[in-house]
Amino acid sequence: MAGGRAFRPSAPRRAAFAALLTLLLLAALSFLLSSTPPASSARSSSPPPSARLAAVRRHAADHAAVLAAYAAHARKLKEASAAQSLSFSTLSSDLSALSARLASHLSSSSLPEDALRPLEKEARERIKFARALAADAKEGFDTQSKIQKLSDTVFAVGEQLSRARRAGRMSSRIAADSTPKSLHCLAMRLLEARLANPSAFADDPDPSPEFDDPALYHYAIFSDNVLAVSVVVASAARAAADPSRHVFHVVTAPMYLPAFRVWFARRPPPLGVHVQLLAYSDFPFLNATNSPVVRQIDAGNRDVELLDYLRFYLPDMFPTLRRVVLLEDDVVVQKDLAALWQVDLDGKVNGAVETCFGGFRRYRKYLNFTQPIVRDRFNPSACAWAYGLNVFDLETWRRDGCTELFHQYMEMNEDGELWDPTSILTAGLMSFYGNTKPLDKSWHVMGLGYNPSISPEAIRSAAVIHFDGNMKPWLDVALNQYKALWTKYVDTEMEFLTLCNFGL
């Protein structure tokens, strides 16, 4: 997001500068206060006029420097009044000018002593006043210096805390996005099984007629996690009143497709549900070099990002279907979802559960409203919604050109100024703005991957529970109070789970 606070020097530099300046002031002031100008009471033993004037000039110059430093210090601390800071500066300038006059008289040896006495008296009075002003300010400035040092220390600790929090969030995200050793082992075991018996697993099985039947209940799942997908399918099948009418279109990366085929060949979909296994390479339009999505995808993370962005191409992927329910791979289905095909979306494209409460999770959280195009098109107080369980009317989607709108926003955000390009949710918030029908919250309860305080009643009444967050149920960091809700759908008869040390 655009914006930020003004530059200020780093805490260590400011602390060092304040300490050095304080020491300089104290040393100079101690020297000046301990010294006294030459006495003039005994004229018979007085030094020559030139020596007296030289001493007075030196005192004037020293006090001018001290007061100039005090003036700078007062401005830096921003605690002294404007009048006090002006007094320091004015008196410092007067003493500097007086020192210059004394220096000019010292260079002239023709002036009589009587002519020098008024100048000497004036200089002594100003020096006395300067010494008193500096002495009065010393205690206050010492206190302010301590306050400044403490403020600098608090700022430095705050910066360290912010860095530690950012590092913690990054580490948590890396841990969540990385493939655990057990999942990697499972994928490798499944691939080994295919290589050992290639004839048992068809590379391109004949499509079932159910895959294109718009009268059935169709789901789309985009994932490279075969175990998580198996849980989604198993939980939905067990919750369905008529499992044979439910069709799951599972799309993964090409390198994981053989592992998925081995799993579902060895452990067929339960209760007669239908599962179609696809790779994103089966959709040539995604690989067009002029696609704004392909241009912006990080080459090092291509599989994950392409799977995320596939949700914006559902009408192109399934041209014969009228409605599709999108499920994330970290959900568990607890109730029959057939009723979602009868939900009235009021002519909208997307049906989703809203996530805002109070001022939280509104559009201002996701979009950069300093950009004119964002301010002109979106309401910062509009309520955000969630991915995880989404009902998409593909006919209305085609009519409203939502995929083309998504392309436009991707083009506009090529420099990352409108929203964080790593957030797939924000792209959806923009593409389906004003085109989303709120669903009842009982359809989709979120937070099981980060919130330990979800009420048991909310979980029991939910049609779908969502382990969104970093504490996924297949990870060791999963929240223990929720993990059994997921593990009870794991097919423990698959022998590779034991071989790969899944802690289920």
pLDDT in tens, 259-311: 999 999 999 999 999 999 999 988 877 765 456 666 666 555 566 778 888 99
For residue 244, what pLDDT is reported?
96
For residue 387, is pLDDT > 70?
Answer: yes
Question: What six digits make up the tokens of 1?
Answer: 């997001």
For residue 29, what pLDDT is reported?
55
**Residues 445-464: what's their mean pLDDT?**
96
For residue 179, what pLDDT is reported?
59
Please tell me which residue, 330 or 119, carries the higher pLDDT value.
330
* E-assigned strand segments in 155-285: 217-222, 246-252, 274-279
Name the band, by pLDDT with cuts 50, 70 and 90, for residue 46. Answer: low
Is 173:470 a contact under the CB 8 Å cutoff? yes
C-alpha to C-alpha distance for 176 and 470, rounded to whole angstroms: 5
Largest alpha-carbon pair distance within the chain?
A: 126
Bridge partners (DSSP) listed for residue 327: 389
C-alpha to C-alpha distance for 421 and 43, rounded to whole angstroms: 86
Distances (CA, A) of 98 to 110, 379, 397: 19, 66, 84
- Residue matched to tokens 């789309």: 220
Name the band, by pLDDT with cuts 50, 70 and 90, for residue 120. Answer: confident
For the ranges 179-193, 213-227, 487-501, the lowest mean pLDDT is seen at 179-193
For residue 4, what pLDDT is reported?
42
For the ranges 90-99, 103-112, 353-362, the lowest mean pLDDT is seen at 103-112
Phi, psi (degrees; rounded to nearest 5) at 69: -65, -40
Distances (CA, A) of 452 to 163, 408, 467: 25, 39, 11
**Residues 32-40: what's their mean pLDDT?**
48
SS3 466: strand
For residue 36, is pLDDT > 50?
Answer: no
For residue 204, is pLDDT > 80?
Answer: no
For residue 47, what pLDDT is reported?
63
Bridge partners (DSSP) listed for residue 250: 221, 277
Helical axes 113-177 vs 49-77, angle rounded to 10°: 30
Question: What are the structural domain ranges in the chain?
Answer: 182-500
C-alpha to C-alpha distance for 308 and 223, rounded to whole angstroms: 8
For the ranges 197-206, 215-224, 320-329, 400-409, the lowest mean pLDDT is seen at 197-206
357: left (phi over 0), alpha (psi -120 to 50) or beta: beta
Phi, psi (degrees; rounded to nearest 5) at 167: -65, -40
Is 142:437 a contact under the CB 8 Å cutoff? no
CATH of domain 182-500: 3.90.550.10
For residue 296, what pLDDT is reported?
61
Is 179:303 a contact under the CB 8 Å cutoff? no
Taking alpha carbons only, the member of 441, 478, 448 closest to residue 463 is 441
For residue 61, what pLDDT is reported?
74
Average pLDDT of the chain, as a whole number = 81
Identify which of 38-47, 145-154, 272-281 has the greatest average pLDDT. Answer: 272-281
**Residues 107-116: what's their mean pLDDT?**
62
Name the band, by pLDDT with cuts 50, 70 and 90, for residue 2. Answer: very low
Identify which of 106-120, 162-176, 358-372, 456-470 has the greatest average pLDDT. Answer: 456-470
Q: Are strands 389-393 and 331-333 parallel, antiparallel or unpaired?
A: unpaired
Question: What six digits make up the tokens of 42?
Answer: 């005994």
For residue 429, is pLDDT > 60?
Answer: yes
Assessment of whether the complete model's pTM goes beyond 0.85: no
Q: How many CB atoms lie under 10 A from the CB of residue 56?
A: 25
Quote the percentage of the chain above a pLDDT of 90.
47
For residue 249, is pLDDT > 90?
Answer: yes
For the ranges 73-77, 149-153, 249-253, the lowest mean pLDDT is seen at 73-77
**Residues 380-394: what's their mean pLDDT?**
96
> Residue 449 carries which DSSP code?
T
Please tell me which residue, 431 or 4, carries the higher pLDDT value.
431
**Residues 462-485: what's their mean pLDDT?**
93
Is 418:369 a contact under the CB 8 Å cutoff? no
| Single-letter residue type at 71 | A
Identify which of 24-33, 80-89, 178-187, 418-427 has the greatest average pLDDT. Answer: 418-427
For residue 115, is pLDDT > 80?
Answer: no
**Residues 120-147: what's their mean pLDDT?**
70
* E-assigned strand segments in 126-178: none
Quote the percentage of the chain above a pLDDT of 70.
70
C-alpha to C-alpha distance for 89 and 246, rounded to whole angstroms: 84
For residue 390, is pLDDT > 50?
Answer: yes
Identify which of 10-14, 168-172, 384-388 has the greatest average pLDDT. Answer: 384-388
Half-sphere CA count of 251, side-chain side, radius 13 A = 24
Name the band, by pLDDT with cuts 50, 70 and 90, for residue 28. Answer: low
Q: 362 Cβ partners below 8 Å, 6+ apart?
A: 356, 380, 381, 382, 383, 384
